[in-house]
Amino acid sequence: MSWENDSEGRKKPKIPPMVALGIERFNQREYFEAHEALESAWRNAFDPNRIIYQGILQIGVGFYHLLRGNKPGAIQVLQRGLEALQNAPDRFYDYDLARLIRETQLLLNKIQRSSDSRLSVVEKESLPSLHQYFRD
């Protein structure tokens, strides 16, 4: 793990480049590209954050299925992603992971209650993202 200094000179862990790229693509709603970057980080990680990379990756894959109208696939992968993140911290590097989890769970509940079998009305811009905390 590498380190960087925050605005007050304290050391904090530096986000791995492939994870940063994956989150950037995730937030741009480029879920296939996010998957590629996060999968690379997940496969090469040997640290406790590995399960978090996997959870974010799976949520992105769930959103990808959702946008393609694959309701069963979206439900299955979103559930797996949320399960992977069930013991994750609220904050992941400078990102509000708790918010992503909460918003994804609300979306999953809505999808499961929907009678629309293909979910053709989902707007890409309405999907949750990983919000970054404000920096000094």
- Write the DSSP symbol of residue 132: B
- Do the domain assignments include residue 86? yes
Please check whether residue 128 lies inside any domain of the structure.
no
Nearest-angstrom CA–CA distance, 105 and 128: 10
Tell me, yes or no, whether 106 lies in a domain. yes
Which residues form the domain of 24? 17-119
- Supply the pTM of this predicted model: 0.87
Q: How many domains does the chain have?
A: 1
Of 1-15, 95-109, 121-135, minimum mean pLDDT range: 1-15
Angle, CA of 133, 53 and 123, to the nearest 5° = 70
Q: Span 73-79, mean pLDDT?
A: 96
Residue 51, number of CB atoms within 10 A of its CB = 17
Q: Is residue 49 part of a domain?
A: yes
54: CB partners within 8 A, 6+ apart: 38, 42, 81, 84
Tens of pLDDT, residue by residue over 51-74, are 999 999 999 999 999 999 899 999
Average of per-residue pLDDT across 13-30:
93
CATH number at residue 81: 1.10.3450.10
pLDDT of residue 58: 98
Q: Kindly state whether residue 60 falls inside one of the protein's structural domains.
A: yes
- Is residue 85 situated within a structural domain? yes
Give me the mean pLDDT over the 113-119 stretch.
Answer: 73
